[in-house]
Amino acid sequence: MTKKSLVWIREDLRIKDNPALSYATNNHEIVSAFYIYNSDLFDGKREAQKWWLYKSLESLKNQLLDYKINLEIISGNEINQLKKIKKEQDLSIYWNKVYEPDQAKLEKEFIDYLEKEKINYKFFKGNILIEFQEVKKDDGTPFKVFTPFWKNAEQRYLNKTPTKPLNVKKLKKIEKVFKKTISTKDILPIKNWYKKFENYWIPSESEALKSSKEFIKNKISQYGDTRDFPNIEGTSKISPYLKHGQIGVETLWRFCDEIKSKGKGYRKYVNELGWREFSHSLINNFPEMLVGNLRKEFDNFPWIVNKKYLYAWKKGLTGYPIVDAGMRELYETGWMHNRVRMIVASFLVKHLRINWKDGEKHFRNCLVDFNEANNVAQWQWVAGSGADAAPYFRIFNPILQGEKFDKNGEYTTKWVPELTNYPKEYLHKPWELEEEEQNKIKIIIGKDYPKPIVNHESARNSALEAFKSLKK
């Protein structure tokens, strides 16, 4: 057993089933962990995740102390900080991979440096079920459609018995490595809008495991029937923990595999894990979609620049209750129900004809579960400009979507309380209630709640005309 090692922590803020941490503690007497906080990646871009990261690092730091492992947080450009690591006798460095093109580039540069300096290193599979390079068509090209991708992935990996849990060994000696570190509190946003998040989330590994087990035990069997209804706690809400690696997807897969009755709910949920795998495959095989349309014909789409409309959408003031409910839920909780994410995204890119990039940017900044692969892939799916995309002419009707998935308005009125006493038959189209009736219940559309910023039918027709222009 060699003496000393460093573990580079990124999107693996956990102890259980952490390959790099497990390997380090089982092969070294002294293990130190470090996290590099690059403010350039968060400031004005991922503000909600600053709060989650602060809470998560604080929790992990305390956990690791029980194992005699010091977690040090350093600030700055990642590669600059990594290159400050100097060769010492018997020093080894370990990390788990992150599947984003910029992180892969960073890892390559770091490896080049380590090999030049003759520093021992080893990296491990990251928080993914199967590496994107392993899933290809028969001709060696990557998939652009989800169903054949996932069928291929399942055949290659998922039908195998899940791997056994990895253990982390408790050590005897703790050591500080870096001279200049920062406090976890230094990560928090200056604006304290995140304060309400604490009413909804506990960012920790223990909570991730607890929530996952509870979902698998009590909810997954009904998942196929309940996941589309935002008034029901039918989804897992594990996505923020999965994003930050507070639970490994291997662990989650193991929990799923232990279910004796693998019915509709199980199938639907596993497919959601599959979509996450597919999204990571897409951005690595087609990194151009991170900055533009995968379908290049959409480069000529006549998007509209309208700051007034964009502001109303962000603030939940569009006049369409289900849309406004979703946007307000996002701002208060850092999360939004998946069905509602599709509704609000469709409204932005089709009713308002605002570029999906503006929506993707807003979600990136406000979501605690922001995942670059999922976020870009889902926005382009809705816009019709990505892989396996919904056709652009599939335009969600926000009135019908509200009536179908929140018939009694429990979700809508929770986030749009000014409509609490509104007649249920008019809740998702409040402007249709006679003015006299509005006066009776003292909720005046245009005063107490906004009028629709666009007419559904007119907006739909304009969107379809815009789409036709691509074919000319």
What CATH number does the domain containing 226 carry?
1.25.40.80
Whether residue 309 lies inside any domain: the answer is yes
Whether residue 168 lies inside any domain: the answer is no
pLDDT band at 181 (very low <50, low <70, confident <90, very high): very high
Whether residue 187 lies inside any domain: the answer is no
Q: Give the bridge partners for 121, in sequence order.
A: 93
| Element housing 9 (H / E) | strand 2-9
Whether residue 198 lies inside any domain: the answer is no
What distance lies between CA 249 and its chain's CA centroid? 14
In degrees, rounded to 5, the angle at the alpha carbon of residue 458 between the alpha carbons of residues 452 and 462 is 120
| Cβ neighbours, 10 Å, residue 325 | 27
Q: Looking up tokens 């693998």, which residue turns up? A: 262
Same structural domain for residues 420 and 348?
A: yes
Among 4-8, 56-60, 374-378, 391-395, name the one with the lowest average pLDDT: 391-395
3-state secondary structure of 443: coil
Among 23, 21, 40, 41, which residue's Cα sits nearest to residue 32? 21
Among 364, 331, 310, 377, which residue's Cα sits nearest to residue 43? 364
Same structural domain for residues 266 and 390?
A: no
pLDDT band at 1 (very low <50, low <70, confident <90, very high): low
CATH no. for residue 392?
Answer: 1.10.579.10
- Rounded to the nearest integer, the mean pLDDT of the chain is 94
The encoded tokens of residue 251 equal: 């662990």
Same structural domain for residues 318 and 442?
A: yes
Domain boundary among 226, 260, 285: 285
Domain boundary among 229, 256, 285: 285
Reply yes or no on whether the pLDDT at 18 is more than 70: yes
pLDDT digits (tens, 9 = 90+) for 215-257: 999 999 999 999 999 999 999 999 999 999 999 999 999 998 8
Residue numbers of the domain that contains 7: 2-126
Encoded amino acid at 17, one letter: D
Same structural domain for residues 311 and 459?
A: yes
Q: Give the bridge partners for 93, in sequence order.
A: 6, 121
CATH no. for residue 71?
Answer: 3.40.50.620
Same structural domain for residues 148 and 19?
A: no
Same structural domain for residues 273 and 407?
A: no
DSSP alpha helices (H): ranges in 66-141?
Answer: 78-82, 101-116
Among 284, 461, 262, 260, which residue's Cα sits nearest to residue 372? 284
Whether residue 291 lies inside any domain: the answer is no
Give the predicted TM-score (pTM) of the model. 0.95
Mean pLDDT along residues 317-333: 98
Same structural domain for residues 360 and 307?
A: yes
Among 27-31, 169-173, 253-257, 331-335, name the one with the lowest average pLDDT: 253-257
3-state secondary structure of 83: coil
Domain boundary among 259, 285, 311: 285
Same structural domain for residues 303 and 348?
A: yes
The total number of structural domains in the chain stands at 3
pLDDT band at 472 (very low <50, low <70, confident <90, very high): low
Whether residue 240 lies inside any domain: the answer is yes
pLDDT of res. 187: 96
| Cβ neighbours, 10 Å, residue 222 | 14
Whether residue 379 lies inside any domain: the answer is yes
Whether residue 86 lies inside any domain: the answer is yes
Q: How far apart are CA 320 and CA 419, in angstroms?
A: 11
Q: How far apart are CA 284 and CA 100, in angstroms?
A: 7
pLDDT band at 2 (very low <50, low <70, confident <90, very high): low
| Element housing 120 (H / E) | strand 120-124
Same structural domain for residues 98 and 240?
A: no
Same structural domain for residues 265 and 312?
A: no
